[in-house]
Structure 1
Amino acid sequence: MNETAHPPATLLLVDDEAGILSALRRLLRPTGHTIHLADSGRAGLEVLEREKIDLVISDMRMPEMDGAQFLEQVRQRWPGVTRLLLTGYADITSTIAAINRGQIYRYIAKPWDDDELLQIIGDALEHRRLREENARLLALTQEQNEALRELNANLEQKVRERTAELEQVNSFLNLANDKLKQNFLISIKMFTGLIELRGGVIAGHSRRVADLARKLAIHFELDTKGQQDIFLAALLHDIGKIGFPDAMLARPVVKMTGEELGLYRKHPLVGESALMPLDELKEAARLVRSHHERFDGQGFPDGLVGLGIPLGARILAVASDYDGLQNGTLAGKRMSPDEAKAMIAQSRGKRYDPQVVDAFLELLGRPKQETGRDLEVRAADLQPGMVLARDLVGRDGVLLLAGDYILDASLVKQIQDYARREGVSLSLHIRNDKRMGPGAGPGSS
């Protein structure tokens, strides 16, 4: 136990046996802690009313007020005081009552081992310190988030300030250890907030994607570390967009200019570079780099194919696009959940891993079919007068034709030529109602 790492604490020892109190005081004197003694629960409460106490050690069996009653009052009146129970007899019922009512940190059996008791006290004080540090860091995080909301300077200034905050968080995370895992997760959520606090349709996107990605990871029975890496990568998959102009963040991919698409294709690499310095995020960084790869090898930045793409990245691609289709950042218009599912299913084996798509549909349910309104028609069977029920999106994600477009003979020929040229089996969703032209529909003559 390291007694010099932090300032000495103030301890209260409560026992009706003077010999026990003397033994405890002798044992604890070399630690440098300030020691207060009380020979009953009532006397202990009086000490607590006038002194700032960090930790209480109370005997279980005492007259008038036993240890369970005393520690319960301590919990109610001074909840920040760490509580230990000293019990000298095998009364499991009383011990359980003390644990439940007093919410003690640990109980210690008499006679105790000196080294073990010192270790327990040290651990309890360290636990208290970490709890206070966690509250401080949480308050600091909330202050930083509030400051982000108030930013209204120009883009360059905002990027500089947010980058400085990001570096500050990185410095903190590099010092994190196993005892600060909760603070580490809070800091990860701050990363996500750097993009989503800029508002628009992306608000909440990363957290929704992270929730779905973790459920898919559980479906594939990945170990705890694998699930955590996918969850963190999902929270941070858009961190590479931190330098995007506000207008570009709000613009759907299909409506971006060539220059904007060039910048967009770099964000997985920028995101990976931002996360790689942190050992805890190296695997998540690898998934962020690959979440825009396609199963058919047509993705970016590395053109990976099939199972050569990390499983976490294949999961992240489905989860991210499902939410993106619904919030309108991909296809240029918001889709219903069923429409988004149908788009994912349509790209099974092309953009997405078939096994991940199957798991996704099993988890969320298959899209409901609209009887009498939407037909799936092969390109070869298209006829003039048909009306598109959904957007027609190319294999590279570019919008070719918007929904509700009425096909003429020239467009039918262009679509059929496109399918032959690309070597794809292209099917379009066609409205099956009065808005379709006369004689339209597969098999009509």
Structure 2
Amino acid sequence: MTAEALPIEALLDAEPEPAFTILCVDDEVNILSALRRLFRSSGYRILIAEGGAAGLEVLANEKVDLIISDMRMPGMSGAEFLSAALERWPDIVRILLTGYADIQSTIEAINRARISRYVSKPWDDAEMLRIVDEALAVKKLEREKAQLNSVILRQNSELKRLNLSLEDKVKERTQALEMTMGELTEVHEKLKKGFIASVRVFANLIEMRAGKLAGHSRKVAELARAIAQQLELSDAEAQDIFVAGLLHGIGKIGLPDALIAKSFVQMTLEERNVYAKYPAKGQAALMSLEHLQSAAKLIRSQHERFDGLGFPDRLSGMQIPIGSRILNIANDFESLQAGMLTDKPMARPDAIKNIETGRNKRYDPAVVDAFLAVVGKPEAAPLGREREMRSKDLQVGMVLARDLIAAGVMLLAKDYMLDERLIGQIKHFEEADGTPLKIYIQVK
């Protein structure tokens, strides 16, 4: 343990205190001898001087804590000696030895030399020891106070140093954590993009199997997410609804080709019963994927009606998950325009009106209101211009301004940033297919 770590009491006791030094000044040798004998067993260090001049010389060379001086001395009186000592060493305790006949000069000496005490001759030994002990007790307190102040100053200095060191360490650690968090955020974003990309691949496969218009699943997903945001659902809920929109038709993969090719109004009752099983099959297809369980539940209930006449579980009202209620409207709206529900495609205004007429029957009225608010907003102006490019001119970092579609299948979604691998795959696809792709790139 370092000295700075010790408690203050231990620091005060760590260094032995030097003995107090007493200077006895008198022109009579027997008086000096008596005083030396008196303090011999007290533990004090005793110095003697035979007169005032000799006393000043001792003071100039030794550290003295207390002076005992006789009043009557030849050459320099005790009052003169103690006055000179006061001027040069004011912290020394001064005691005057005086006789009864010297009372007037004693008073003058007290006033002139600021004498702490005076002791009459002949003195009482016990009284003399008590007076000196009390005087030096005050000195001891002063010494301990000075020592304590020194310790506090050292500890404050060390504390400042430790604080600076701690601040540097905290700053260094914070920077390291921020760097780590930044790296984790970047990795998380990559994983999230990879996850969404994988989901979009599934959606493309579904559309290829269904033989319908490319990009339908993405349109449903984006509209459903916009409605969720209009309803102020959480980001997590909106993300689940978006993913469910991309995968809403995954259960159709197991349906017969002839059934998939038909619009809903063209199906027979038997075919509709078979068709009604695809939402549950879609949930089952995602059963083993833990991160898609929330989306899978929404897919199962996407065709439940608000009035309870939907499928597969005949849920009604608030029994239907909010995401499924949203997905129902988004899917029907895009399907109406694509001709997937009726025998021919429906114009956008007519599709909107069709959704409105389903309020409180097929659709949740609150979700209808949110849908109308979304489709009623003017389409956002593009952030930048676009330019059609050949695949040979593509560069890493370019961003698609439109969905990349080939043979009715969406290869890459709008806003996708191209990397070297994707550019190579696009070129390879063109070579294999023998048809140049229409590639639109954002221009800032």
What TM-score do the two structures reach when normalised by structure 2? 0.43
Structure whose CA Rg is larger: 2
What TM-score do the two structures reach when normalised by structure 1? 0.43
